[in-house]
Amino acid sequence: MTEECKISVIIPCLNEEENLKELIPYIQKYGNELLSEIILVDGGSIDNSSAVAKSFGAVFVKSPICSRAAQLNFGAHKAKGDIFYFVHADTRPSKEFSKAISLAISQGKQVGCFRYRFDRESRLLKFNSWFTRFNGLLSGGGDQSLFIKKSFFETLGGFDESFCIMEDFELVRRIRQKSDFHVLPDEMIVSARKYSENSWLKVQLANLMAFSLFLLKAKPASIKSLYLNFLNKRIKSITEVE
Q: Assess if residue 210 is contained within a domain.
A: no
Domain span at 159: 3-192
Q: Assess if residue 124 is contained within a domain.
A: yes
Q: What is the DSSP letter of 238?
A: G
Q: Assess if residue 169 is contained within a domain.
A: yes
Q: What is the mean pLDDT of residues 39-66?
A: 96
Round to whole Å and give the CA distance between 187 and 196: 21
Domain count, the chain: 1
Q: Assess if residue 211 is contained within a domain.
A: no
Predicted pLDDT of residue 233: 56
Residue 203's CB is within 10 A of a number of other CB atoms, namely 20
Percent of the chain with pLDDT over 90: 89
Indicate the average pLDDT of the chain. 93
CATH number for position 121:
3.90.550.10
pLDDT tens profile 190-232: 999 999 889 999 999 999 999 999 999 999 999 999 999 888 6
Residue 168's CB is within 10 A of a number of other CB atoms, namely 24
Q: Indicate if the pLDDT at residue 22 is higher than 80.
A: yes
Q: Assess if residue 234 is contained within a domain.
A: no
Q: What is the mean pLDDT of residues 64-77?
A: 96
Q: Which of 34-48, 82-96, 184-198, 219-233 has the lowest mean pLDDT?
A: 219-233
Q: Assess if residue 129 is contained within a domain.
A: yes
Do 115 and 186 meet the contact criterion of CB atoms below 8 Å apart?
Answer: yes
Q: Assess if residue 99 is contained within a domain.
A: yes
Q: Assess if residue 221 is contained within a domain.
A: no
Relative orientation angle of helices 167-178 and 68-78, to the nearest 10 degrees? 60
pLDDT bracket for residue 5 (50, 70, 90): confident
Predicted pLDDT of residue 3: 44
pLDDT bracket for residue 71 (50, 70, 90): very high
Predicted pLDDT of residue 230: 86
